[in-house]
Chains A and B, each alone.
Chain A
Amino acid sequence: MSKVLMKGNEAIGEAAIRAGCLNYFAYPITPQSEVAEYLSRRMTEVGGVFLQGESEVAVSYMIFGAAACGERVFTTSSSPGISLMSEGISYICGAECPAVFVNIMRGGPGLGGILPSQADYLQATKGIGHGDCRMLVMAPASVQEAVEMVMQAFPLAEKYRNPVMILGDGLIGQMMEPVSFRDDLKVPPTNKDDWATSGMDTRKSTKRNLVKSLYLDPEVLNAHNLKLKAKYDRMRQEEVRYETYNTGGDYRVLIVSYGTMSRVCRSAVDALKARNVETAMVRPQVLFPFPEQAVFDAAAKSSCTHVLSVEMSMGQMVEDIQRSVQGRRPVHWYGKCGGEVPTPEEVMEAVEALLQS
């Protein structure tokens, strides 16, 4: 398969088109504005829809309206913009519509900075909107993986009738890497006639469809939330995805890291090995649901004395790791969240400091 050199943000836009999503609404924000710039041209070429909305709030509802008609639709933004979209995301979860949201994270809180970060981990995995709503959260570690996850996100959103988030750090968006677009990842859309407001004539039906999230009767709302919970539980069963590195032999420290940070950690694991310090890594590829069993198993290895969460955030993943490890091993944190990506040397120092403590 031929490869092309592409910037992550442009590759993400192209991946959506290759996945059969020809509808894109967005609001510019650094460091992902190249997606909108790319798609403003490409959507015209492929006869798709491109619209720059007046705000991220409005964009999230343009996504909602289009998704509720049963059309594949997506948007991209970055941290402060995702905060604004979180209102719409909650409604989309409540109304059970499929859509894809890409967050190319920058540093926070507030305006924070424009450099790469992973500081929206908790927002994405635990608090993406008010009410009992959850999103499947996929975390690519390369431009190629970002492309594949974007293409996989659309059928997953349709499988669950729930939004899916691609959570990438700023480097994933800004980095140029060779990518290929796999045709086999293009999955035809599911039939949405039983729920989408596509117009009764389109469905050749006299039954109207209603897309809503309001349930004033407490029993009905509770039943609705139990239905949503069952979907999130099903995600926990079926969508856990992770990669392990160097877990075959004995190791003293288990690193848990995702996204760009995990690539740095992989180099650190290799370099530590050369110094006869054995470490291993679990890399969650999906952050919600979290690979609890994989982290537990890797941490439970008798040689393993410490678990280290390495993130470009201030320990946001630590609680998920602690929950997975269930108190069997101490869980530590190392990271930076000002926009700099920790170097392999800095990760190695953190590991060695841990072993000397």
Chain B
Amino acid sequence: MAKAFAKPICLSDQETHYCPGCTHGVIHRLVAEAIDDLEIAGRTVGIAPVGCAVICYNYFTFDFQEAAHGRAPAMATGIKRVRPDLIVFTYQGDGDLASIGMGEIVHAANRGEKFTTVFVNNAVYGMTGGQMAPTTMPNQKTTTSPFGRNVEEVGMPIRVAELLASLATPAYITRQTVLSPKHILKAKKAIRQAFQYQVDNRCFSFVEVVSTCPTNWGMTPADAIQWAEKTMLPYYPLGDLKTPESVEEA
């Protein structure tokens, strides 16, 4: 009987360190499927962030570098500039990318660096234990906003995809989620498209993935999905914000 479904070739057999209900595993798989599909593992270098995904290289079988907090886009720039033949992606969380690494991602995107960023937005710092992130929702309780995010004091959550899409340099900027199978299929297509743009040497490509963090949200995985659908998706709308084609047409 033909095998209809298998583990991607470039995913390892490593046991997961992620919490029950965490969506990182799904997103890792989507990245691995895209790399398998495009047959690029032999020329791919991934860059791990600081945060829950700091040891994400344990789950992939190709070359990897480990960045400092927020600096992955600068490292990816260094690699792509000296080895444009390599396929490079950064995998970053919202504390890493939207807070300490905001400068690096904005400038890399604006230079049109031809690498891919997978940005996992779960509205909280995970690894350090659930502190407030730039993406934390208004009134959302975290360990450093115990009374809920007070937007009078710390402002509104940052919509990174919209911010990057406002840059004039051509890019592929999209927001997806993995909250349901239907969403996962769309996210898979977007991540593959992002790598395809890189393979074609077209542009910087950025996929934000709205995700959950049941542990730090203090919810069951099922409740976390519901909360994300109800609270995050209205504020972080899904879909393509920019494609290189849309820039060319304009």
Pick the contact of B44: A57, A65, A69, A199 (CB < 8 A).
A199
Asked if A214 contacts B55 (CB within 8 A), the reply is yes
Interface string of A287-312 (1 = CB under 8 A from B): 00000000000000000000000000
The distance in angstroms between the C-alpha atoms of A62 and B79, with both chains bound, is 7
User: 8 Å CB contacts to A: which residues of B70-112?
Assistant: 71, 74-79, 81-83, 85-86, 103-104, 107
Q: Does A142 contact B (CB under 8 A)?
A: no
Residue A334 is within 8 A (CB to CB) of chain B in the complex = no
Q: Does B61 contact A (CB under 8 A)?
A: yes
CB of A51 within 8 A of CB of B81, answer: yes
A212 to B58, CA, bound (A): 12
| Whole-angstrom CA separation of A21 from B81 in the bound complex | 14
CB pair A58–B66 under 8 Å, yes or no, is: no
Q: How large is the interface on A (under 10, 10 to 19, 20 to 34, 35 or more residues)?
A: 35 or more
Within 8 A of A (CB), among B164-205: none
Given A58-B71, A88-B68, A201-B43, A208:B86 Cβ within 8 A:
no
Query: Do residues B79 and A208 form an inter-chain contact, with CB atoms below 8 A?
Result: no
From A59, A68, A73, residue with most partner B Cβ within 10 Å: A68
A71-B83, A73-B82 as given contacts; A54 in contact with B104, CB under 8 Å: yes
Decide: A212 near B78, CB < 8 A? Known: A54-B107, A61-B104: no
Residues of A within 8 A of B78 (CB): 25, 61-67, 69, 73
Q: Is the CB of A57 within 8 A of B71?
A: yes
**A114: interface (CB < 8 Å):** no
Closest B residue to A90 by beta carbon equals: B68
Does A152 reach chain B (CB closer than 8 Å)?
no
Q: Are A210 and B103 in contact (CB under 8 A)?
A: no
Chain A minimum-CB-distance residue to B84: A49
Decide if B107 touches A58 in the complex (CB within 8 Å).
yes
Asked whether, in the complex, the Cβ of A66 is within 8 Å of the Cβ of B79, the reply is yes
A201, chain B: closest CB distance, angstroms: 4
**A198 and B65 within 8 A (CB):** no
A66-B81 contact given A61-B74, A199-B42, A199-B45, CB 8 Å threshold: yes
| A154 is an interface residue with CB less than 8 A from chain B | no
A53 interfacial by beta-carbon distance below 8 Å? yes
Q: Is the CB of B74 within 8 A of A65?
A: yes
The distance in angstroms between the C-alpha atoms of A219 and B83, with both chains bound, is: 35
Distance of A182 from chain B, by nearest CB (Å): 26
Whether, in the assembled complex, A350 has its beta carbon less than 8 Å from a beta carbon of chain B, the answer is no
Q: Is residue A23 contacting chain B, with contact meaning CB distance below 8 A?
A: yes
- In whole angstroms, what is the CA distance A63 to B83 when docked? 13
Let me know if B66 and A213 touch, CB within 8 A: yes
- Given A61-B104, A88-B71, A200 and B81 contact (CB-CB distance below 8 Å): no
Q: In whole Å, how far is B11's beta carbon from the nearest beta carbon of chain A?
A: 13
CB-CB contacts of B4-21 with A at 8 A, as 1s and 0s? Answer: 000000000000000000
Measured CB to CB, the closest approach of chain A to B48, in angstroms, equals 8
- Determine which of B41, B44, B82, B104 lies in contact with A66 in the assembled complex, contact meaning CB atoms within 8 Å: B82
A-B contact pairs, 11 of them (CB 8 A): A23-B81, A25-B78, A53-B74, A58-B104, A64-B71, A65-B78, A69-B45, A95-B65, A202-B43, A208-B64, A212-B65
11 further contact pairs, Cβ within 8 A, besides A62-B81, A199-B85, A212-B65: A23-B82, A53-B74, A57-B103, A62-B75, A64-B65, A68-B79, A71-B82, A88-B68, A197-B65, A201-B43, A202-B43
B residues near A, CB below 8 A? 41-45, 47-48, 54-55, 57, 61-68, 71, 74-79, 81-83, 85-86, 103-104, 107
